[in-house]
Amino acid sequence: METLTAHRTTGLDPILPATPESSVSAVTWPAIFGGAIVAAAASIVLVALGSGLGLASVSPWRDTGASATGVAWMAAAWLIVVQWLSAGLGGYLAGRLRTKWANTHTHEVFFRDTAHGFITWALGTVIVAGVLASAVGSAISGGVHAAAAVGAGAAAGAGGAAATQAANQGAGASGAGASGVGASPIQATSALATYDMDLLFRSSQTTSTAPTTDARAEAARILANGVATGDVPTTDRSYLAELVASRTGISAEEAQKRVDNAIAQAKAADLKARDLADKARKAAAETSIFTALSMLVGAFIACIAAALGGQRRDLHA
């Protein structure tokens, strides 16, 4: 009353008493850390349970078990369930374990509780990501050491193994097509360089005096080059037909049919491999989208659960 009276008489703004501000942060870190650890542990347990139930694996047998599409949808649904349960549990614990904020408006309390739930979810996600990254890194490191040990043991027979592999690729056209698709860029460049060397020293007359292994390896390189470039040139087709006829003793027409069939099978294998790679790319993209959506669901659930836990905390002060 005195302040309002002075304002009327003097026309000056009244001097209001300063609002006391707490020096303690509104974030209850022990509750957040506890909820995050529980959420991370629950996520790991649920993911392991889903893998054990077969929600992330495709049956290797034809017409048996779940298909790749079915597994993708089941894995997406399970990811949402994992986020729902783990984030809800961690957020609720963070809300129940935080300290009571005295003389605080209910709207501010609700905001702080939801913020605690969101921070708990974020910290739990970072913990799970760190654990998975460490596990993947350990697996890759172990695989590199194992591959180095195997490579050191097989170094003495590398030349013979390479010749045998080339012969096996020449024996079937589908194998040649697969090698052209699945090879790394360095291997593909090396194969093309070898094909150019074969073309440089190619004889105009095909004889049966050279070893059969060399002929099969050269045929495999010709098919691989044809798959890589889109088609086998006419000169290579004629050369392959003459090579097959001279080695097998069949007629030129029959040899040409064999060459055409081999080229067709190599192209079919290449198309199949490309189709599988495209399906794998699409599946990876869908998995990433489902993972992001499930994480957003987990963040929302953690906020709501923390608000409910904080409300129960204030009811039982």
| pLDDT, tens digit, 9 for 90 and up, residues 249-260 | 888 889 889 888
User: Of 316 and 134, which is predicted with more confidence?
Assistant: 134
Distance separating alpha carbons of residues 307 and 112, to the nearest angstrom: 8
On whether residue 206 sits in a domain, the answer given is: yes
On whether residue 83 sits in a domain, the answer given is: no
* Rounded mean pLDDT, 94-108: 88
Mean pLDDT over all residues of the chain? 75
Distance separating alpha carbons of residues 292 and 308, to the nearest angstrom: 25
Residue with token string 């069949």: 250
Which range is most confident: 14-18, 136-140, 213-217, 294-298? Answer: 294-298
User: Of 215 and 232, which is predicted with more confidence?
Assistant: 232
Ranking 105-114, 201-210, 213-222 by mean pLDDT, the lowest is: 201-210
**Full DSSP string of 248-302:** H---HHHHHHHHHHHHHHHHHHHHHHHHHHHHHHHHHHHHHHHHHHHHHHHHHHH
**In one letter, which amino acid is 3?**
T
pLDDT of the residue at 1 = 47
On whether residue 231 sits in a domain, the answer given is: yes
Ranking 28-37, 132-141, 177-186 by mean pLDDT, the lowest is: 177-186
Would you say residue 129 has pLDDT above 60? yes
Structure token pair of residue 230? 């889109």
Distance separating alpha carbons of residues 176 and 184, to the nearest angstrom: 14
Would you say residue 139 has pLDDT above 70? no
Domain that holds residue 232: 169-278
Distance separating alpha carbons of residues 27 and 49, to the nearest angstrom: 33
Give percent above pLDDT 90 in the chain: 21
**Alpha helix ranges (H) inside the chain:** 2-10, 29-52, 68-97, 106-153, 158-171, 173-182, 185-200, 212-229, 234-248, 252-315
Distance separating alpha carbons of residues 317 and 303, to the nearest angstrom: 21
pLDDT of the residue at 89 = 95
Ranking 31-40, 92-101, 169-178, 307-316 by mean pLDDT, the lowest is: 169-178
Ranking 35-44, 98-107, 149-158 by mean pLDDT, the lowest is: 149-158
User: Of 215 and 268, which is predicted with more confidence?
Assistant: 268
Confidence of residue 73 (pLDDT cuts 50, 70, 90): confident
On whether residue 112 sits in a domain, the answer given is: no
Distance separating alpha carbons of residues 261 and 269, to the nearest angstrom: 12
Give percent above pLDDT 70 in the chain: 64
On whether residue 303 sits in a domain, the answer given is: no
The torsion defined by the Cα of 278, 147, 223 and 243, in degrees rounded to 10, comes to -160
On whether residue 214 sits in a domain, the answer given is: yes
Tens digit of each residue's pLDDT (9 = 90 or more) over 145-159: 655 554 444 444 433
pLDDT of the residue at 99 = 87
On whether residue 187 sits in a domain, the answer given is: yes
Is 91 within 8 Å of 117 (Cβ atoms)?
A: yes
Is 124 within 8 Å of 118 (Cβ atoms)?
A: no
On whether residue 205 sits in a domain, the answer given is: yes
Is 80 within 8 Å of 168 (Cβ atoms)?
A: no
Provide the domain count of the chain: 1
3 state SS of 66:
coil
Structure token pair of residue 173? 């056209």
Distance separating alpha carbons of residues 250 and 270, to the nearest angstrom: 28
Residue with token string 């000169």: 235
pLDDT of the residue at 216 = 82
